[in-house]
Chains A and B, each alone.
Chain A
Amino acid sequence: MDSLLQAFIFLSAGVVAVPIASRLGLGSVLGYLIAGVLIGPFALNLLHDATQLMHFAEFGVVMMLFLIGLELQPSLLWRMRFPILGMGGLQMALTTAAITGIAMYFNQPWQTALAIGLILSLSSTALALQILAEKKLMNASSGKSSFAVLLFQDIAVIPIIAILPLLAITAPLTNVDTANIAAVVTADAHSSGGGNLIAHLPGWQQTIIVVMAVVSIILAGRFLTRPLFRFIADSKLRELFTATALMLVIGIALLMTTVGLSPALGAFTAGVVMADSEYRHELEANIDPFKALLLGLFFISVGASIDFALLGSKPIVIMEIVLGLVALKFIILLFLAKLFKIPGGGSYWFSFSLAQGGEFGFVLLASTLENRILHKETIDILTAAIALSMVLTPLLILFNEKFVIPRFKEDKSTTTADEEPMEEQDNPVIIAGFGRYGQIVGRLLIGNDIPVTVLDHSATHIERVRRFGFKVYYGDAGREDLLHTAGADKAKVLVIAVDDREKAKSILKMAKHSYPHLLVHIRAYDAMHYHELKSEGADFISRELFLSSLSMGEKTLQALGMRAYKAKRQARQFAVHDQKTTDRLGEHISDNKRYISESRHAQEEVLNILRGDRMSYRTSEDHSWDATGHE
């Protein structure tokens, strides 16, 4: 009951605060943070244990990293190598060096100073990407650059975690102490009940185990997930797929926790490994709602965990650290933005959105406690500083939007909206259903160098056509979220080629409702279906067997001795005549209010068509090239 009550409190805090914050133009992140502060121990005090909650909600970050990994096919990663290595590398190097220098100036030993520098150089992926996505900047160069930097940081966490134990200046705690501290501080100790099992090992052994764990994830992701998903997909139970996806992410998190690694990194690696998988879109669609909820929860818990008592006792020091951190990061980021020529206002979006400490900072701080790299007091202060810097970000973004960006408005060419779109992973055509019908459509398009995103929910189908180099994704095109992930908001045409008439209709309805700009070309089962689809607003409807039957008729006429060109014209004329007949009957259907059973109607229709055929052949006798004037 109690946990339900807690869940209710979170949800209602979010449901109340986030829409208000969005309405006020503050953005959802600030909304969640405010909600967190409000229900936190220093306001309404409705929470039992904000820290524990944060650890639970950090799982949202794990899922986010998994999803980010899924978006990053190795090829895309390769194309982004220069911004990632250049901008990301420089950002980390400069920020770490600056912070390390400052810490050493305040008489910290170099190991401690370096640890602080590394930890604070990270920004918040969750926060920055959420904000950039909300401002629709992910495709702008500011969004691309931010993503590159964040990605470098996320990757850099792996070596940082491996290096941190080597920075310890005193002997590690005993096993028991470690377990205690882990229970208090690490996210995953709670969710897994396990905790770090290798913390007692020497640093170099830990490093080896960490590397082995990552390698095992890569190998398993590459070779085991596809047969697993195929097996699950064949069961045709959607909830089972969701369960498998969650199981996968949680399993990775557990494994990573066991070896003392950040579960988020494991999830990211697994995501990248599976980015080429045909089940990618379905995975995304399944994980995304959980991620969004948990991230909301994460932001709430960040808000709730701000230690106002500590803040009250050392307001000056903490505020100095927060402002110093944000200012330092901002300056370095702005310098990078100029160096890498992010145009106009984009450089400020980039700099403001990344100028904060990150959620990985919390995780790393926890591990520094385990490894006795930092003092408990320092960790508390830094944790508070990171949380506050995260609260500051949405405010700075607001400031940027209201006061900085307007100054760039005059120069049209530098506004974010005009910037070139991100790497073309958003294909202009989506084909739903890749059986015999969809494949022909796809082959014609691909033959004309038009990239196509293909969705199909038959695993055996996918397996077969993938061998021929088609990019086919497993999934049910009838799900709005999946269609969205397939890029429906950017695509020009959706080709619905599924053979199930009701399914086709429901996809059409959903697509027309959610993506009014999208042209929908659809395969109709028969004339009746054709009328239904027409009334639902399909842009082009093709009756599935019509052209095939027509060409059969044409060839038969030819076999009986009719000249090829005449047979062709007869077939074409028949098609025109048939279209007219069909449309006329369609009007009749909409006029006729009373219910006629479908089969009865179809029967009647056939008779009408046959009657019409004979009449039309009497009237539309072909007078072309009659030998009157000329030969």
Chain B
Amino acid sequence: MNRILILFAHPALEKSKVQISLLKAAQSVDGVTIHDLYELYPDGLIDVVYEQDALTEHDIILFQHPFYWYSAPAMLKEWQDLVLEYGFAYGASGNALRGKTLANIISAGGSKNSYSTHGHNRYSIIDLLRPFDQTANLCGMNYLPPFAVHRTHDMPKEKIEMYAELYRQLLWKLQRDLPSEETLASLRYLNDWVQS
């Protein structure tokens, strides 16, 4: 069974509708560890040793966050800068993360179509997530396509619940399995893998 660690970053969860539902969904799955970064470190002082120990003890690392400005909220960047140290995550002796799996769980205001060459966001989600992809690569991790919730701002409650349920299933499935090489070759969203 894959042990899952979710690094959750949302600076104003009290204003969120989608992310709070996703978070609750994750909390309902047994054996999933969640680090709520803004709640744990309101003054930005990240406990690096604690975070690194958590990484060592898990197989799948999920960055769950709103897709602010085509990236993660500041705290998650801070987390990467501090926790993914040379000698731990990368470098000659830095192989603590080797063979583990990384994926982003994101919520975005724009539609799926807007994230394309023709859409107003001009790039696909996969393209925009390249920095995470390469971060995983440098750390010797396997990077999966994202689980994404699009068009969040006017999303009806039922639809949010639907996504929360889908996310719950994703976590359950990830605990037991990972997408195969062949699946990954054509997979653009983890959403599709759960439903397959």
Contacts and interface: CB of A to CB of B under 8 A. Distances in A.
Interface stretch (A120-128, A298-306, A466-474, A565-573): A565-573
Interface string B42-83: 110000000000000000000000111100000000000000
A623 to B, nearest CB: 10
A562 B39 CA distance: 10
Nearest to A625: B12
Interface stretch (B16-24, B89-97, B125-133, B134-142): B16-24
Bin chain A's interface residue count: 10 to 19
B66 A624 contact: no
A631 B18 contact: yes
B148 to A, nearest CB: 11
A28 B10 CA distance: 72
A624 B12 CA distance: 8
A567 B42 contact: yes
A565 B11 CA distance: 7
A411 interface: no
A564 B152 CA distance: 24
Given A630-B66, A631-B66, A631-B108, A565 B17 contact: no
Contacts of B153: 627-629, 631
B66 A565 contact: no
Contacts of B67: 630-631
A377 interface: no
A368 to B, nearest CB: 72
Given A566-B12, A625-B11, A630 B39 contact: no
Contacts of A565: 11-12, 38-39, 42
Contacts of B30: none
Contacts of A562: 14
Contacts of B40: 564
A630 B69 CA distance: 8
Contacts of B66: 625, 630-631
A568 B43 CA distance: 7
B16 A627 contact: yes
Contacts of A23: none
B108 A630 contact: yes
Interface in B1-42: 10-19, 38-40, 42
A566 B152 CA distance: 22
Contact of B109 (A567, A622, A625, A631): A631
A630 B68 contact: yes
Contact of B152 (A567, A568, A625, A631): A631
Nearest to B37: A565
Given A564-B39, A568-B42, A627 B152 contact: yes
Interface in A549-568: 562-568
Contacts of A622: 12
Which of B15, B66, B152: most chain A CB closer than 10 A?
B15
Nearest to A567: B42
Most buried by A among B17, B39, B67: B39
A563 B17 contact: no
A459 B19 CA distance: 59
Nearest to B70: A630
A631 B64 CA distance: 12
A514 B74 CA distance: 47
A159 to B, nearest CB: 60
B107 interface: yes
A626 B15 contact: yes
Given A630-B67, A631-B107, A564 B12 contact: no
A622 B67 CA distance: 20
B17 A627 contact: yes
A534 B32 CA distance: 54
A232 B134 CA distance: 71
A630 B109 contact: yes
Most buried by B among A565, A567, A626, A631: A631
Contacts of B18: 631
A401 B39 CA distance: 69
Contacts of A625: 10-12, 15, 66, 68
Interface string A571-584: 00000000000000
A80 to B, nearest CB: 44
A566 B13 CA distance: 9
B14 A563 contact: yes
A628 B13 CA distance: 14
A310 B131 CA distance: 97
A563 B19 contact: no
A86 B27 CA distance: 75
Contacts of A627: 15-17, 109, 152-153
Nearest to B38: A565
Interface string B135-171: 0000000000000000011000000000000000000
Contacts of B68: 625, 630
Which of A562, A566, A627 lies at the interface centre, i.e. has the most chain B CB atoms within 10 A of its CB? A627
A629 B109 contact: yes
Determine which residue in B12, B18, B38 has the highest number of CB atoms from chain A within 10 A of its CB, and name it: B12
Q: Nearest 5 A-B pairs (CB), nearest first?
A: A631-B66, A564-B42, A625-B12, A568-B42, A565-B38
Given A628-B109, A630-B107, A631-B18, 6 more contacts: A563-B12, A564-B40, A565-B39, A626-B15, A627-B15, A631-B153
25 contacts: A562-B14, A563-B14, A563-B38, A563-B39, A564-B40, A565-B11, A565-B42, A566-B12, A566-B14, A624-B12, A625-B10, A625-B11, A625-B12, A627-B15, A627-B17, A627-B152, A630-B67, A630-B68, A630-B69, A630-B108, A630-B109, A631-B19, A631-B107, A631-B108, A631-B152
